[in-house]
Structure 1
Amino acid sequence: MTTQHDGRTGAPDPFHSFARRADRSDGLAHFRTRFVPSEGLVAYFDGNSLGRPTVHSVERIQKFLTEAWAGRLIRGWDEEWMELPFAIGDRLGRAVLGAASGQTVIGDSTTVLLYKLARAAVDAPRGSGRRTEIVLDTDNFPTDRYVLDGIAAERGLTLRWIEADPASGVTPEQVAAVVGAETALVVLSHVAYRSGFLADAPAITRIAHEAGALVLWDLCHSAGSVPVELDRWGVDLAVGCTYKYLNGGPGSPAFAYVRADLQDVLRQPIQGWMGSSDVFAMGPEYRPAEGMRRFVSGTPPIIGMLAMQDTLEMIEDRGIAAVRAKSLELTDFAIALFDEWLAPLGAKLASPRDPSRRGGHITVSHRSMRTVTATLWGRGVIPDYRDPDGLRIGLSPLSTSFEETYDGMAAVRDALRAELLRATGLG
């Protein structure tokens, strides 16, 4: 790409020059060649919703179909597949979650795993008697709110709502104000799905524990982008998807984390044969397996968990700290472009400017963003839209360049400007 010039002065655009320099010094730049090219793509701003496929994942899945599945047939279960959810889970735990082995498993959707762990938590035996409240926030992802509403109805519990600002997120002070002797469980997202606000997980976990409650963190927008230290933070439970920054593919299975000392205490509610102590005994009654196997229900989705291994390999290579460092550089750059190009058009930044409080995406708000998003999709620039009036810009560090970020933000500027002219009858 040739150097861009400032339309007002004719001088080389300093933002474009910065992008080119940043790409040359990017220690993760070589990973971009590992992703399958997308025809007609100018900029992909939706890595926080669906990651891009890797070249190796295509080869891995094809090889599995022709060799492992066709070649081994049902023997594959005894040879590898039965243990694959735990092997990949341990690998994900080490590379991404700060979790020692034996605490993470791959399987089911985020919704199902959230239900399993939340339901098990509120039914957990407690020496001080039954607790009757679940704490959550009004801006959490719909699945979290819907699942917890259903559990509350099933178990006769009360939902204690934290009113969260969509442009920020839940603070430790807000949690401290609502937890107490009746709190059974606190369920929050580590990174807010709309604003990208990064919650203070260690502080909130500590506050919940001081009240005698368990904590379940939703890591869907954290895993693979933001460093997580579940063991060090003393987290009880966590769930997250693998098709965002982990590039597992559409509908790839989620992961569940249960702290080691809780595994034989909690009884998960979907008692399937794969979670029993002797899977092939086919006994008359359910006896839960020890450890993380008891949180498995049905047959593991083996093909669905193959692709994420390639991203785990990249993260293992350079470390999650390097991924986070580039993520912050990309979002800082996007915010600088927002200030220069979009703020003068009336757009608002609906994400934290403080990098320590920001996850891997930013949201730009304007009343025209629904229309702008549709326009951009037709031009090969792919963000996504979230009410109210928010265009989300998800910058996946392993697959996104600074020049791609520049090109995409320039397209947002041009589309918004054109829409404003059209709305005023000048376009």
Structure 2
Amino acid sequence: MSEPLAAEAAALDAADPLRGKRAEFVLEGDGGEGAEVVYLDGNSLGALPRAVPGRVADVVAREWGRLRVRSWTESGWWTAPERVGDRIGRLVGAGPGQVVAGDSTSVNVFKAVVAAIRLAGQDGHGRDEVLVDAATFPTDGYLARSAARMTGCRIRAADAADIADAAGPRTAVALVNHVDYRTGRLNDLPATTAALHAAGARVVWDLCHSAGALPVGLDAHGVDLAVGCTYKYLNGGPGSPAFLHVRRDLQPRFDSPLPGWNSHADPFGMSPDYVPADGAPRGRVGTPDILSLLALDAALDVWDGVDPTAVRAKSLALTDFFLRCVRTYVPAGRVESLTPDAHDRRGSQVSLRCVPDAEAVMAELVRRGVVGDFRPPDVLRFGFTPLYTRFADAERAARVLAGVLGR
């Protein structure tokens, strides 16, 4: 039964307009009997782009080793957060000067939520409520609660699909995940943003599981603030700098709760009084992490000339094909897809509920050369990164999964 689907996968790979991108990544590894590992965990950590090691070696040996402090100006270190931010901005639909790269996603969530509450205060409507996606990644919830305590706001959780309806006259800001990290459900960014604006509230979008996987359209949909990581679909490396987007017209009013020297209008003036910089640099805090920031810069080279709509088309085709292979190969009743079938509600991962032995199943998949991940209590997650994942990988993963579950 596997031969027709394997043949179909080969034909789809041959016709894939992004097929040449795979060669730009390090994907070697023993997947058993000489086969490459099927890597379907790019939604946790993206694969290494081949250009990164050489770039990092040059930064260490030449820019740091020989030029030393001169590299802040001669090598462009000082402006790297904005330069790299603009490269990310292209991939999430934000024009130049609205995205800054740096800090962690957690730090940027805190900056964005507090700044949004302060914007509401500047608007003078007495808004004191923070709405948070009930299924959010835990850190987002922790930080939203901390921001609410610090600003005297109350916090209320709602399902992402219901957040727009939940907003009321007291709502200052809603913090929403664009893609649910457990299920891969894509939440409706355009409609939710418009509804929150109509209710007089601001919105902060967490793009960790959508940046680099699908078009986001921050400018097109008037998103106020957004944050995201770069080590998943953007392949920036473990712990690579996150990013913060502040809509252009809101930048003069963006009041960061972390006013570091790097966001000062005259950082080397060493004034005891804080005067925020103009534009995207207002989102900076401390000295940027140059080694990881420039590794990210090199990793983003793989995106040169890539149309995010082509990435989205392949993502949907890959996840459709994988789900079809799972339904064909896997014994009935052993897994249940938690990921929506509808394309307008699906990110770039497939989550399968597997009871009662999901953790052991994933461990065996990894042992057999198919790398996904397990989320307690019973979820198998498979991330599909269109720049390097093949249809043959999807077919093999489903076939190996069937073999594990059929033991």
Bin the TM-score by the shorter chain: over 0.9
User: What TM-score do the two structures reach when normalised by structure 2?
Assistant: 0.95
TM alignment of 1:43-62, pairs within 5 A: 43-62=38-57
CA contact (8 A) 1:219 1:241 kept: yes
Matched, 1:75 2:70: yes
**Alignment match, 1:303:** 291
Which of 109, 112, 122 matches 2:107? 112
**Alignment match, 1:262:** 250
CA contact (8 A) 1:160 1:178 kept: no
Which of 204, 212, 217 matches 1:224? 212
RMSD: 1.4
CA distance in 2, matches of 1:40, 1:107: 35
**Alignment match, 1:411:** 400
CA deviations 1:253-306 (Å, max 9, x no partner) are 000000011111121011111111111111122221111112111001111122
**Alignment match, 1:33:** 23
Which amino acid is the alignment partner of residue 182 of structure 2? R
Which amino acid is the alignment partner of residue 60 of structure 1? R
Matched, 1:328 2:316: yes
Which of 71, 80, 93 matches 1:84? 80
| Displacement after TM superposition at 1:310 (Å) | 4.4
CA distance in 2, matches of 1:337, 1:111: 37
| Displacement after TM superposition at 1:388 (Å) | 3.4
TM alignment of 1:250-289, pairs within 5 A: 250-289=238-277
CA deviations 1:197-246 (Å, max 9, x no partner) are 11110110000001111110000000001101101100000000000011
CA distance in 2, matches of 1:97, 1:181: 30
Q: 4+ residue stretches of structure 1 with deviation over 4 A?
A: none
**Alignment match, 2:156:** 160
CA contact (8 A) 1:152 1:159 kept: yes
CA distance in 2, matches of 1:103, 1:118: 17
| Displacement after TM superposition at 1:138 (Å) | 1.5
Matched, 1:138 2:134: yes
**Alignment match, 2:180:** 192
**Alignment match, 2:34:** none
CA distance in 2, matches of 1:407, 1:366: 18
**Alignment match, 2:385:** 396
Which amino acid is the alignment partner of residue 24 of structure 1? A
CA deviations 1:291-324 (Å, max 9, x no partner) are 1112111001111122333453333313111111
Cα gap change, 1:33/1:264 in structure 2, threshold over 3 Å: closer, same or farther? same
CA deviations 1:49-106 (Å, max 9, x no partner) are 1000011111111111112111210011122101011011112112x11111110000
CA deviations 1:88-127 (Å, max 9, x no partner) are 1112112x11111110000000000110111111122333
**Alignment match, 1:147:** 143
Matched, 1:176 2:164: yes
Residue 350 of structure 2 aligns to a residue whose secondary structure is strand
**Alignment match, 1:167:** none
CA distance in 2, matches of 1:414, 1:118: 46
CA contact (8 A) 1:345 1:417 kept: no
CA contact (8 A) 2:89 2:95 kept: yes
**Alignment match, 2:97:** 102
CA distance in 1, matches of 2:365, 2:164: 42
**Alignment match, 2:374:** 385
Mean Cα deviation higher: 314-323 or 57-66: 314-323
| Displacement after TM superposition at 1:417 (Å) | 2.0
Residue 216 of structure 2 aligns to a residue whose secondary structure is coil
CA distance in 2, matches of 1:243, 1:98: 19
Which amino acid is the alignment partner of residue 102 of structure 2? G
Which of 6, 10, 25 matches 1:16? 6
CA distance in 1, matches of 2:340, 2:27: 32
Identical pairs, percent: 41
CA contact (8 A) 2:178 2:210 kept: yes
CA distance in 2, matches of 1:272, 1:193: 31
Task: Give 5+ residue unaligned stretches, structure 2.
Answer: 32-36
Task: Give 5+ residue unaligned stretches, structure 1.
Answer: 1-5, 7-11, 165-169, 419-427
Which of 45, 53, 65 matches 2:60? 65
Which amino acid is the alignment partner of residue 298 of structure 1? G
**Alignment match, 1:314:** 302
CA distance in 2, matches of 1:317, 1:293: 27
| Displacement after TM superposition at 1:337 (Å) | 1.1
CA distance in 1, matches of 2:164, 2:265: 40
